[in-house]
Amino acid sequence: MDDHATHERISGVAYELWVTAGCPEDQADHFWHVAEQRLAEEARVAKPEAVVEVPEGTVAQPATKRRAEPDAG
């Protein structure tokens, strides 16, 4: 999404929030920030998980977590 489209989406969400809140004065920055956060969260949730291609004939092994080594000092 380009910058103009992003700006328009944020503006629309901020406006809806402002109207829902009763159109309070001097709150534009607050509603803009809330709209940015909501859209960022939606984008994060909508982003698909990474897919790793495994060559045919191989067996994928699950990732293992390494245990932290104790400090030697």
Q: Give me the long-range contacts of 37-45 (CB less than 8 A, separation at least 24).
A: 38/13, 39/6, 39/9, 39/10, 39/13
Q: Which residue has the tokens 């067996």?
A: 59
Q: What is the pLDDT along the chain (73 residues), one digit of tens a residue?
A: 578 889 999 999 999 999 999 999 999 999 999 999 999 998 888 776 666 677 777 765 666 666 666 666 5
- Reported as a single tens digit per residue, the pLDDT across 58-67 is 765 666 666 6
Q: What is the pLDDT of residue 19?
A: 96
